[in-house]
């Protein structure tokens, strides 16, 4: 079973312009484009990787950060195995909005226990010199909100991006280390229910 | 091949391609000249009979009248005809399809073949008849399949039902295309979903051609899937490139997109090799340059001349027609003289056509052409209840006023034209500057002269066909979604072009596909107590609330009346509004240069006394149409 590739759906959320699309492109295609359009709705790319001897296919869903695209993106939250909350270290508002994003995700993804759901926090654009959010602030927030892993990344300079996504895989596998999660993609939705039920009993 | 067209939507009765060069001597068998015949199970005797007769008639008529035959009408059937080189194409349709639609259908079919196979003569040298027969059958079934009768009447594009999807998704599709255009060697493209257009950067007639390949690969894919090849972990996505052939004018339009989309199909044929530079948006950044480009001051670019009001001629393959170029003397005939002779029926078609600046001729409404519409009205004379503002009867004043408006340009143009002709010498050079315009006028001329022909340039087709340029069609499929791009031939050999396009579009295509797949198909909606059809001549699209492929019995009169009115509109350029009625219902039609709209109010008690009457309920149709259609985004104000 472990030799079989399993599909993990992870979703990038965060304010518009914090670099979600760039992070995805950097990780999957190792490319960076300063002139990306706004993402409309959702987009996704697949990436196969091996973490701790296990082969997984990471399906990374990139979403539109702007409020006006909300109705387009929210239907795709369901079935996510992990949520990457992204902010930009040079924009304190995007950091303050993390709470909002977490709530929106929990609501639309229908997560029963947001506390135990694997979130990973990314502070992007560390290549920018004028920071508005310190590492300590971010780490404190992660600690207070369920002890989520925190990564400071730069899609532009390819700093920490791969590490962050690998951590995503680890945290998903750690929380879902059960054979039923090795089923192909189409059944991911169904798998979620039994898991949360076993958890709450 | 044969699985797509259902019997009831089949609009083609016969279609054949006949090569006259194979039948020269007395002893030559007619069958030797038959390259393709549809339906393929027609007995050979019958094939020979039809081909022999029609080839003879076409040739005879065209030689007598020195202009090409476009339509042969027999007592019970009619045949659209296309002659080029030694080839003769004939298509016969069910009777109630308007003349313009039949001709458009035939033209589309030939264009399609040339788009995927290149010049016809060359294709038949390179491939076996059987192989090409498969392709003809495929194109035929593609053009016939899957759309409604209304679509057939207008020969329009099948578009995605935009009322049920978020407009932002249309924007997303457009952005995907723009992102691709930023990649090297990419000219233009379109996004298709399940055989329907989501967004396109190309002229409608080019989009139609591109779609055929899409539909083919889709149905193949579908069959595979149905046979148990299930989608794996990742969505099945694949890319293909195929060689396609573009006419010089299509290529020209792609290289420098027109400011105004309506100028499609009128670009001068010489491809302007613009330096390709990276840019953010073709539509924005390139337009001003294109405006000032002196190379574009081509005779074919005068807007009034190039503007097409005939939706029935969405053809850009000027080259196809240039074999019937009139002699230079005719081309440079002073406009005024043609005007003088216009009012008389016996004017030679060549000179008649120079008349109108917009390229169409306000001929008399020829009602006989649209026979068979028994459900609508009985007498020809009663068919059209013209509104008072519809200025129709006297043509000459109109023509004059139109001409006055553009006289200077016209003079200018004819001057340039004769100049360029003088340079070019004999008629059928690969005359770039002229053949564009030549094709234009010929087309109209072809429309005009029903049964005429031209010996003038029998053998020039080779020239025009040789000018077809090979390009590549790149397709990237993500399930039901396809990105189709026309790219330069060097795309395949370029080190990074393909990768760049692939990577810049993959994520968005995945996303768009997911969005479209989860969008509910939408219920047909409350239909309202009316029926309408709105045809956009520029984008070649149709909006209608007549649903389903087979119009229900209550929609039959509407469809017939629409066919009838469309036919009249195409014949008479000055006709703007018309009401066609029978005892039970009345259909209102109105058109501008850019659109045609047809409207039927259901359940209206018809107070119809038979003579013109201000109380007549039909006269309230225009205002009803204006109000009702606003909510469908159709503005008739």
Share of chain B above pLDDT 90, in %: 31
Domain range for A149: 6-184
pLDDT of residue B529: 83
Residue A67: inside a domain: yes
**From the list A44, A72, A184, which residue is nearest B166 (CB)?**
A72
pLDDT of residue B575: 93
Chain Cα centroid distance, residue A174: 15
Please report whether residue A140 resides in a domain.
yes
pLDDT, tens digit (0-9, with 9 covering 90-100), for B125-173: 999 999 999 999 989 888 887 667 888 888 888 888 877 788 899 999 9
pLDDT digits (tens, 9 = 90+) for B197-209: 999 999 998 999 9
Q: What residues contact A145, with CB distance under 8 A and at least 6 apart?
A: A99, A102
Strand B12-19, strand B586-591: pairing:
unpaired
- Is some CB atom of chain A closer than 8 A to the CB atom of B167? no
**Average pLDDT of chain B?**
69
More confident position, B311 or B618: B618
Residue of A8, A38, A40, A62 to mutate for B, most B C-beta atoms under 10 A: A40
Express as a percent the part of chain A with pLDDT over 70: 85
Residues of chain B contacting residue A31, judged by C-beta atoms under 8 Å apart = 503
**Region label for B265, one of left (φ > 0), alpha (ψ between -120 and 50) or beta (otherwise):** left
Whether the per-residue pLDDT at B330 is higher than 50: the answer is no
User: Is there a domain that residue A92 lies in?
Assistant: yes
CA B60 to CA B68: how far, in whole Å?
Answer: 11
Higher pLDDT, A152 or B166: A152
The per-residue pLDDT for B223 is 60
> From the CA of A116, how many Å to the nearest CA of chain B?
27
Q: For residue B344, is pLDDT > 60? A: no
pTM for the whole thing? 0.70
Residue B563, pLDDT above cutoff 50: yes
Q: What pLDDT digit, counting tens, does each position of B233-269 carry?
A: 344 558 889 999 999 999 988 887 544 433 333 333 3
Compute the distance between CA of residue B49 and CA of residue B37 in angstroms, rounded to an integer: 12
Q: Give dist(CA B60, CA B65) in Å, integer.
A: 9
CA A114 to chain centre: 14
ipTM summary value? 0.85
pLDDT tens-digit map of A2-25: 445 689 999 999 999 999 999 999
**Residue B411 pLDDT class (50, 70, 90 cuts):** very low
Q: How many residues does chain A have?
A: 201
* Domain assignment of residue A106, yes or no: yes
CA dihedral B437, B439, B442, B448 (to 10 degrees): -100
Residue A1 covered by a domain: no
Asked if B278 reaches chain A (Cβ–Cβ under 8 Å), the answer is no
Question: Is B233 in contact with A185 (Cβ distance < 8 A)?
Answer: yes
Q: Is residue A82 part of a domain?
A: yes
CA dist B100 to A126, B147, B225, B566, B599, Å? 64, 18, 40, 9, 21
Length of chain B: 637
Least confident of A103-117, A182-196, B593-607: A182-196
For residue B182, the chain A residue with the least C-alpha distance is A35
> Which of A169-183, B81-95, B507-521 has the weakest average pLDDT?
A169-183
The number of angstroms, rounded, from the C-alpha of B445 to the middle of its chain's C-alpha atoms is 16
Beta carbons within 8 Å of B82's beta carbon, 6+ residues apart: B68, B70, B88, B89, B90, B106, B107, B110, B320
Residue predicted with more confidence, B476 or B461: B476
Q: What is the CATH number of the domain that holds A117?
A: 3.40.50.300
Sheet containing B78-84: order of strands:
B34-38, B12-19, B87-93, B78-84, B71-73
Partner-chain residue, chosen from A7, A40, A45, that has the shortest CB–CB distance to B506: A45
- Which residues of B51-93 form beta strands (DSSP E)? 71-73, 78-84, 87-93
In a domain, A191, yes or no: no
Residue A26 has pLDDT above 60, yes or no: yes
Residue A105 token pair: 């995700």
Phi-psi region of B548 (alpha: psi -120 to 50; beta: other; left: phi over 0): left
**C-alpha B491 chain-centroid distance:** 29
Number of Cβ atoms within 10 Å of the Cβ of B593: 12
Query: How many domains does the structure of chain A reveal?
Result: 1
Query: Is B168 in contact with A62 (Cβ distance < 8 A)?
Result: no
Q: Is residue A192 part of a domain?
A: no
């Amino acid at each position: 079973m472990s030799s079989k590739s399993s599909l993990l759906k992870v979703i990038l959320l965060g304010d518009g312009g914090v670099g979600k699309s760039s992070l995805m492109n950097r990780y999957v295609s190792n490319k960076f484009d300063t002139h990306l359009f706004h993402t409309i709705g959702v987009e996704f790319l697949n990436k196969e990787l091996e973490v701790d001897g296990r082969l997984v296919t990471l399906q990374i869903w990139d979403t539109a950060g702007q409020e006006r695209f909300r109705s387009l993106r929210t239907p795709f939250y369901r079935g996510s195995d992990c949520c990457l909350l992204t902010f930009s270290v040079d924009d304190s508002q995007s950091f303050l909005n993390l709470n909002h994003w977490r709530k929106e995700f929990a609501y639309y993804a229908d997560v029963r226990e947001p506390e135990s759901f694997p979130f990973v926090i990314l502070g992007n654009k560390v290549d920018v010199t004028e920071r508005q959010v310190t590492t300590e602030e971010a780490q404190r927030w992660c600690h207070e909100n369920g002890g989520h892993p925190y990564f400071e990344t730069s899609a532009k300079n390819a700093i920490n991006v791969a590490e962050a996504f690998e951590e995503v895989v680890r945290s998903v596998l750690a929380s879902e280390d059960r054979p039923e999660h090795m089923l192909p993609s189409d059944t991911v939705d169904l798998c979620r229910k039994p898991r949360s039920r076993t958890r709450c009993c | 091949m044969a699985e797509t067209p259902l019997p009831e939507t089949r609009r083609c009765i016969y279609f054949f391609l006949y090569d006259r060069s194979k039948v020269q001597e007395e002893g030559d068998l007619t069958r030797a000249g038959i390259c393709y015949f549809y339906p393929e199970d027609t007995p050979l005797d019958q094939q020979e009979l039809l081909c022999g007769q029609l080839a003879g008639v076409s040739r005879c008529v065209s030689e007598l009248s020195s202009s090409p035959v476009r339509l042969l009408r027999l007592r019970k059937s009619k045949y659209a005809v296309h002659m080029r080189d030694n080839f003769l194409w004939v298509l016969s349709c069910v009777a109630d399809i308007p003349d313009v639609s039949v001709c458009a259908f035939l033209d589309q079919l030939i264009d399609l073949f040339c788009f995927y196979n290149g010049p016809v003569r060359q294709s038949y040298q390179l491939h076996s008849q059987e192989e090409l027969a498969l392709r003809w059958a495929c194109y035929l079934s593609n053009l016939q399949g899957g759309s409604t009768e209304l679509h057939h009447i207008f020969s329009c594009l099948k578009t995605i039902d935009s009322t049920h999807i978020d407009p932002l998704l249309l924007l997303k599709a457009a952005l995907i295309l723009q992102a691709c255009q930023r990649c090297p060697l990419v000219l233009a493209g379109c996004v298709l979903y399940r055989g329907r257009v989501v967004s396109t950067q190309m002229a409608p007639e080019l989009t139609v051609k591109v779609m055929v390949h899409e539909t083919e690969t889709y149905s193949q894919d579908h069959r595979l899937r149905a046979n148990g090849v299930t989608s794996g972990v990742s969505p099945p996505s694949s890319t293909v490139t195929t060689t396609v052939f573009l006419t010089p004018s299509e290529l020209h339009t792609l290289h420098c997109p027109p400011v105004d989309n309506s100028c499609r199909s009128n670009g001068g044929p010489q491809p302007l090799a613009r330096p390709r530079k990276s840019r953010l948006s073709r539509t924005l950044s390139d337009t001003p340059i294109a405006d000032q480009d002196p190379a574009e001051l081509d005779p074919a670019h005068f807007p009034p001349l190039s503007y097409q009001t005939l939706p029935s001629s969405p053809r850009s393959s000027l080259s196809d027609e240039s074999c019937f170029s009139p002699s230079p003397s005719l081309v440079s005939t002073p406009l005024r003289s043609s005007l003088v002779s216009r009012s008389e029926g016996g004017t030679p078609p060549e000179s008649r056509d120079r008349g109108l600046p917009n390229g169409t001729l306000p001929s008399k409404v020829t009602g006989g052409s649209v026979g068979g519409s028994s459900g609508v009205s009985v007498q020809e004379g009663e068919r059209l209840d013209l509104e008072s503002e519809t200025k129709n009867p006297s043509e000459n004043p109109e023509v004059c006023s139109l001409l006055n408006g553009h006289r200077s340009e016209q003079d200018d143009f004819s001057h340039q034209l004769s100049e360029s002709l003088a340079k070019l010498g004999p008629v059928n050079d690969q005359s770039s500057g002229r053949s564009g315009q030549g094709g234009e006028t010929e087309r109209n001329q072809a429309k005009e002269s029903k049964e005429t022909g031209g010996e003038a340039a029998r053998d020039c087709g080779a020239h025009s066909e040789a000018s077809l340029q090979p390009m590549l069609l790149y397709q990237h499929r993500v399930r039901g979604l396809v990105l189709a791009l026309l790219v330069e031939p060097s795309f395949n050999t370029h080190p990074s072009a393909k990768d760049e396009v692939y990577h810049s579009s993959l994520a968005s295509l995945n996303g768009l596909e997911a969005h479209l797949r989860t969008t509910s198909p939408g219920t047909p909606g409350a239909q309202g107590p009316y029926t309408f059809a709105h045809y956009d001549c520029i984008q070649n699209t149709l909006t209608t609330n007549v649903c389903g492929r087979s119009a229900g019995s209550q929609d039959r009169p509407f469809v017939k009346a629409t066919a009838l009115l469309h036919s009249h509109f195409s014949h008479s350029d000055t006709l703007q509004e018309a009401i066609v009625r029978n005892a039970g219902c009345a259909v209102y039609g109105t058109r501008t240069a850019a659109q045609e709209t047809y409207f039927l109010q259901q359940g209206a008690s018809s107070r119809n006394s038979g003579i013109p009457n201000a109380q007549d309920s039909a006269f309230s149709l225009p205002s009803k149409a204006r109000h009702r259609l606003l909510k469908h985004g159709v503005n008739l104000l």
